[in-house]
Amino acid sequence: MQIKVLNAEINAECNANANASFIDSIPGIGPYSALGIASEIGDIERFRSVENLWSYAGLIPKTHQSGSKEWKGHIIKGNVFLKYLLIEVVQIHILKCPYSPVTFAYQRVKARTGSKKARIAAARHLLRIIYCLLKDQRNYRP
């Protein structure tokens, strides 16, 4: 009984939060995950571009430079909770939506490098969609 009450409260809170409701419109993202992602991102206007949001979430590789040479390393630490939520949500999205751009990005990278790097690439693609939704203040349309 308490679980139903708490789920109803989470759904009500998600519907009351505009950013969370936009994120919740993406298949594979539930109200709890939408609230977590929206609260970790905060005001979308503080990010000048989607690349800044990727960096904040820790979904880009470290860059090492010496003179004119450049090496890409492992992904940066970033916001660990946001990164965790995005990777978990991507796995559900891939199962629910086999014909979405996120799934195609996942499959393309998985064929080259494996599933771990593909999840990061798909999470980056999903975060680009979330960035656009929050910037335009609209729901997801496949």
**Contact 15/32 with Cβ under 8 angstroms?**
no
Closest CA to 133 of 29, 7, 57: 29
11-69 tens-digit pLDDT: 999 999 999 999 999 999 999 999 999 999 999 999 999 999 999 999 988 888 888 88
Q: Is residue 94 in some structural domain?
A: yes
The tokens of 64 are what?
């090492």
pTM: predicted TM-score of the whole model, two decimal places? 0.90
Closest CA to 42 of 136, 107, 134: 134
Q: Is residue 96 in some structural domain?
A: yes
Place of tokens 């503080």: 46
**Number of domains making up the chain:** 1
Q: Is residue 22 in some structural domain?
A: yes
Residue range of the domain that includes 78: 2-136
Q: Is residue 60 in some structural domain?
A: yes
Please count the residues of the chain: 142
Q: Is residue 142 in some structural domain?
A: no
